[in-house]
Every structure is written in structure tokens, then in C-alpha cells.
A = this chain, B = another copy of it.
Amino acid sequence: MLEELKKKVYKANMELPKYGLVTFTWGNVSEIDPETKLVVIKPSGVDYDKLTAEDMVVVDLDGKKIEGKYNPSSDTSTHIELYKSFPDIRGIVHTHSPWATSWAQAGRGIPCYGTTHADYMYGEIPCVRNLTQEEIEEAYEKNTGLLIADYFKDKDYMAMPAVLCKNHGPFTWGKDGLEAVHHAVVLEEVAKMAARCEMLNPQNIPAPQELQDKHYYRKHGENAYYGQK
């Protein structure tokens, strides 16, 4: 069942340790099948060096396990809410990557200080608030997804494929699992350089809007000219 997608999701998961984004089991990648609306996701708490494609878990959009010998990631409900709210995405990543998590722990969004950021993400990377005690107790992971979805309800989630959850860490997404991983790597690099540039210039301000626009639109949209067609 969904064997090709399981292989894809397995490979995308294995990119996380390769890029230094996860320690132990602190991360997960999922991808949704557009036909069946089933989601393939990493099992919870299984070590990356023991993981196989067959270990991937299949769940439906109600969070019910459809196939798999393991429990799905404990963050599965967050992924599901994002798939339900963001119809144009097919892949989601969660990590505790150190620089992005440091911004999340500081409760701050990441200003766009340069073109590395603007090449992929349009504007400040947001940091959403803590859940209330009631929201945590009622349904922590699902409400995390709803909070993110609510933040983006009047925004372009394809132009900002990343969010920080306060005191927790980042989620990123994309047109498939691999692109979501790609965005997680970009986020970590951008988070690192933004922290260092504030250290070098505590009064730093974001890059001029026209420079942000130039870089974002030379890679995105109909007038893009970066890369190969």
C-alpha cells in the first residue's frame, strides 16, 4: 500500500540527520497522497539508523492508522491539520533544529535580513504564540496545527513555508516531503545568520523591500529566471 510514497517519505526522513537537523528521533517528515488523501509519516520514537521504508505508517485525515506496525509520530495530528488547511502542499517536516529552535525558545519571528532568506521565504518567518492550558489539555498536537492554520488563514502559505512554535520548534512544508526538508535546511541557515547578524549589529533592520522582492521573484512566479526551466 502506497509503497512508492513510503520510499519517498523514508528518503526524505533520512535527509534530516544528513543535514544535521535532528538529534536522536527529534524530527519527522510526512507526505500526503493526493488521490487517496492518506498520509505517510515516520513512526514515533524510532531511531533513524534503524528506520526502513516499511516502517512508515499510513494514516487517514481523521488520524486513524490505516497501515503500519508502529504508532505514527506523536506530531501526526499537527501534520493532519496542516494538510487540511493548506491544500497546495504535499509534504511537512518538524524538527528541533538548533538555531530555529533557539528563535522559537526566544519567542521571536526571524526578520528577513538578507537575500538567502528572501530567495525562499517572503517576509518575516512567524513565531506563533503558546497554546493556552485549555488548548494543551484538550488536544495539544491538533491544536498546534489549528493555531498555525489560523495564523495563515489570510496569508500565502506557499510564500512562507515555515513557522516557529513558541518554546517548541519549527514546522516547514512544501510541494512534497523533500521540498519541505529543503525548506527546513534553509530555515536553519537563515536562523543562524540572522542571530549572528544581530550580534554584529544590535540595531539591525530588515533588508530593503525592493531587494527582498527582487530575490523572491527571481526564483518564484512567472517571471522567475533562476535555475533551469
Q: Which A residues fall within an 8 A CB radius of B?
A: 23-26, 43-46, 70-71, 74, 96, 98-99, 101-108, 113-116, 130-131, 133, 136-137, 140, 167-169, 182, 185-186, 189, 192-201, 204, 207-208, 210-211, 214, 218, 225-229
Contacts and interface: CB of A to CB of B under 8 A. Distances in A.
A201 B136 contact: no
Q: Which 9 pairs, one residue from A and one from B, show the smallest C-beta to C-beta distance?
A: A45-B227, A106-B201, A102-B196, A167-B207, A105-B197, A106-B200, A105-B113, A105-B114, A106-B197
Nearest to A69: B228
Given A114-B104, A130-B208, A195-B196, A136 B214 contact: yes
Nearest to A113: B105
A103 B199 CA distance: 10
Copy count, this protein chain? 4
Contacts of A108: 200-201
Contact of A197 (B103, B194, B204): B103
Contacts of A218: 74, 140
A228 B45 contact: yes
A70 B225 CA distance: 12
B169 A115 contact: yes
Contact of A105 (B43, B104, B204): B204
B185 A44 contact: no
